[in-house]
Structure 1
Amino acid sequence: MTRPPTAAQRRVIDAADPVTGRLRGTESQLTALAKRGLAFRHPRPPHDHFLTPEGHRVRQGITRAPEPTGETPAPTGVFAARVGGEEGATEAGPARRREVHSAWQGLLELRRMTNPDQAVDRPCGWERAHLAQAAALALEASGHRPAGQRGGGYRVRETPQPEAVAVHEVDGEALRACAATLEGAGWQVSEHREPRTGGRYLLASPRRA
C-alpha cells in the first residue's frame, strides 16, 4: 500500500502556490517529494520545484487508499490513468472522476511550466517519458472508458516505435472518437490495421510543434 506523505511533506504540498504549484522547502524535502512523483525539478534556472499532476491531486485532498487488485503496484506508487485491461477495475464513480480531472488540470499546468513557450496545447517532457499514462489520462479525462469496465473500451499499449503508443478499441466509432480526443490534446494520430486480425488501431505520438 502506498504510504501517504509525511506531515512535513504535506505542509510543503499545502503551501504550494495555488496557481503554478511552485514549492518551497528544504532541498531534502523537495528531493523526497520528487522521488515519490509528487514534484518535479524545473530543467531551467533557478530550477524550482513544482507539483506534478499527482501532487496537485494530493494538495486538493483527492486521496484514497489503493484498492487491492492483486496486481503489482505501479513503479511510482502514485496516481495512474487507466490504460485499459486492469484487473478489478470498476465503473468510474464520482471520486475517480474528480481524481482524473485534478490530474488532467495538473498536467496542463505542468505543460505551461515546462514547455519553452508555455504552451498547454501540446505534450511536455513528462508525457514523452510516460507515453501510455499520458495518452490514457487524455482519454480518461475526456470521458472515454478504459477496457475492463463492462466490456469494450480503449486499451493503450507501448510500441517498439519511439515516442508512439497504440490505442485499440473494439468499436470503430469509439476509435475515431479516441483519435479526435488525442488530436485535441496535442497528439499526432494515424489509423492502422492489424495484419493478422484486420482490426484497426491508432498510433499516437506527442506533437512537438
Structure 2
Amino acid sequence: MALSPTAAQRRVIDAADPVTGRLRGPQTQLAALVKRGLAFRHPRPPHDHFLTPAGHRIRDAADAPEEREAPAPATAPADGGVFAARVGGEETAPGATGPARLREVRGAWQGLLELRRMTHPDGSTDRPCAWERSHLVRAAALALEAAGHRPAGPGGEDGYRVRATPQPEAVAVHGPDGTALRGCAATLERAGWQVGEHTEPRTRARYLLASPRKV
C-alpha cells in the first residue's frame, strides 16, 4: 500500500507534469516517493521518474469532489496554470482559444503518447496507459479535442460532451447528431478505445460508450 508523502514530497508531486506525471526534484525525494509506491523510475534512459496511479490520485485528491459533480475546468489560462482537456459544457477562460490553445492541446497529446511509449512494456503508443485509465473523462476528451472535434459550450451549443458513467472503465460521449458521434467514435477507436453506439431509453438520444482498449 502506498504511504502518505511528507510535505516536501507532496511539493514534488504537486509540481509533476499534469498529463505525463513526470517528476522533477532532488533524487532523495524521488527515491523516497518510489519507496512509498507513489512514483516509479523508468527503466529506459534517461531514467526519469513518473507518478504511479496512486501518486496521481494524491495529486488529484483536492479536485476529486468537483470532478464527480461538475465538468473539469476549461484549460490553462493565458498566464499559466494546469492544462485540462475540454469535456464539453464548461465555460471557456479568456484567452483560452485560438492558436495558443491548439498548441497546448497538441503538446498535451504528444506528451500523452510519450507517456504511453514509456510506460507500456512493449513501448507501444496505440492503446491507453494507466494514467488514462485513472482519468477516463479527461483522457477521452483530450483524444477528441486533439483530433479537432469541438466541445459543447456552456449553453448547450453543438459539440461533444464527455461524461463519467456507473460502468467501470467507461465514459459516455454525447453529440449533437449521428454524424458528429460517428466522427467521435472513429477518433476514439484510432486513439485505442473500444467504442459502441447506444440509445438512451428515455430520450432516444444516441450516445457512445467508450472504454480504453487493453490489448
Alpha-carbon distance between aligned partners in 1 of 2:22 and 2:211, rounded to the nearest angstrom = 29
Q: How does 1:3-22 map to 2 (within 5 A)?
A: none
**Residue equivalent to 1:96:** 101
Question: So what's the TM-score if we normalise by structure 2?
Answer: 0.67
- Match of 1:82, SS state, is coil
- Flag the 1:162–1:95 CA change in 2: closer, same or farther, 3 A: same
The question of whether the paired residues in 1 share the 8 Å contact of 2:160 and 2:173 is answered with yes
Question: So what's the TM-score if we normalise by structure 1?
Answer: 0.69
Report whether the alignment pairs 1:126 with 2:140: no
- Alpha-carbon offset, residue 164 of structure 1: 0.1
The question of whether the paired residues in 2 share the 8 Å contact of 1:41 and 1:48 is answered with no
Gapped regions of structure 1 (runs ≥ 5): 1-8, 14-19, 32-39, 52-61, 67-76
Moved more, 112-121 or 136-145: 112-121
- Flag the 1:105–1:136 CA change in 2: closer, same or farther, 3 A: same
Report whether the alignment pairs 1:107 with 2:102: no
Give the alignment's Cα RMSD to 1 decimal.
Answer: 3.6
Q: How does 1:164-183 map to 2 (within 5 A)?
A: 164-183=170-189
> What amino acid does structure 1 have at the position aligned with 2:204?
G
- Alpha-carbon offset, residue 79 of structure 1: 1.0
Please list every run of at least 4 consecutive aligned residues from structure 1 whose deviation after the TM superposition is greater than 6 angstroms: 20-24
Q: How does 1:5-154 map to 2 (within 5 A)?
A: 25-27=25-27, 30=30, 41-42=39-40, 48-50=48-50, 64-65=78-79, 78-88=82-92, 92-148=97-153, 151-154=157-160
The question of whether the paired residues in 2 share the 8 Å contact of 1:42 and 1:114 is answered with no
The question of whether the paired residues in 2 share the 8 Å contact of 1:89 and 1:148 is answered with no
- Flag the 1:192–1:118 CA change in 2: closer, same or farther, 3 A: same
Alpha-carbon distance between aligned partners in 2 of 1:95 and 1:161, rounded to the nearest angstrom = 35
Q: How many residues align?
A: 169
Gapped regions of structure 2 (runs ≥ 5): 1-11, 32-37, 52-75
